[in-house]
Amino acid sequence: MATTTLLGWYEQMAVIRGTEKAAHDLFMRGLVKGTTHLAAGHEAVAVGAGAALRPDDYVFATYRGHHHAIARGATPEGCLAELMQKSTGVCRAKGGSMHLTQADHGMLGSYAIVGAHLPMANGAAWSAMLRGTTQVAVAFFGDGATNIGAFHEALNLAAVWKLPVIFVCENNRYMEYTPIDAVTAVPNPAADRAAANGMPGVLVDGNDVVAVHDAMLEAVERARSGGGPTVLEALTYRHFGHSRTDPATYRPQEEVDEWLARDPLIVARRTLLELRVSEEEVDAVDQRAKDIVAAASAAAQAAPAADPDDAFTDVWADGGAAWRT
């Protein structure tokens, strides 16, 4: 692993972490309306997996998708502006926190309906297969989605058609407020179910960006070469509650402390130091990330509000069902 590569991933994770903190702070100031689902603690999954993809690959995410949007090229300013209903937001204020989308970067949406996007990723993968482009589709989802019917249906179809799709479960141990192991018969809710659908199930440390990248790269190469789908389960932990209304008091403090000590940024920093990157160089990256986020937050707050008339643009309808025939 080249140190410059890992430094780049570290900076990307630091920018994502800073953007999440900025979103939290703006929410607490009343500048972000509605709820937000922060992904602080999940950065290594988005950055490690994203680094294994091509720019023209497809990504589908959940409502907890800020980190995936930025890892695919959305700017912190565009994301924060979207959360504040500004005209410069990535969706011009039409999506908000739960629906960040940037199709020109292959980010084909964040979805609030749990598990709904897994079959959609199959569709994108099928399209790529039909067109012979060697593109892959990736569906990121939480552990709670593994008990949704669409999860099992999507895996079955992907295996039957041998689709170039990777199913990435971000297992943060809790499906909203309920521990996943309290309602699931197998220890690893995604990886342990892959074999029943005739595909590899891979378990990886979701807080280690290098481990995520390496596992994802293998799955991507398998998909591109016609080897079919893979289930990748990344073990991670969210630093905040499920949403901004959740204080997460249901989690044992010793568990929280254990996972915070395994923070993806701490893990990556330790690896960099082991590779003989100096403390000063890593600190400089941290400062650069803080500056990027501070500038993005200021620009997003200063941006003009979205024009209500824009709500009627980018909408297609013909008044009937004629398009079906």
Catalytic residues: 238, 242, 250
Contact 110/68 with Cβ under 8 angstroms?
yes
Instruction: Judge residue 318's burial from the number of C-beta atoms within 10 Å of its C-beta, 0-12 exposed, 13-18 middle, 19 or more buried.
Output: exposed
Percent of the chain that is helix, strand, coil (3-state, to 5): 50, 15, 35
Three-class SS of residue 59? strand
Q: Residue 84 and residue 92: Cα distance in Å, rounded?
A: 10
Parallel, antiparallel or unpaired: strands 165-171 and 230-235: parallel
Contact 177/249 with Cβ under 8 angstroms?
no
> What is the CB-side half-sphere exposure of residue 24 using CA atoms within 13 A?
18
Alpha helices (H) in 193-246, listed in sequence order: 209-224
CA distances from 88 to 47, 74, 100, 290 (A): 24, 12, 13, 21
Task: From 300, 138, 131, 99, select the one nearest 219 (Cα to Cα).
Answer: 138
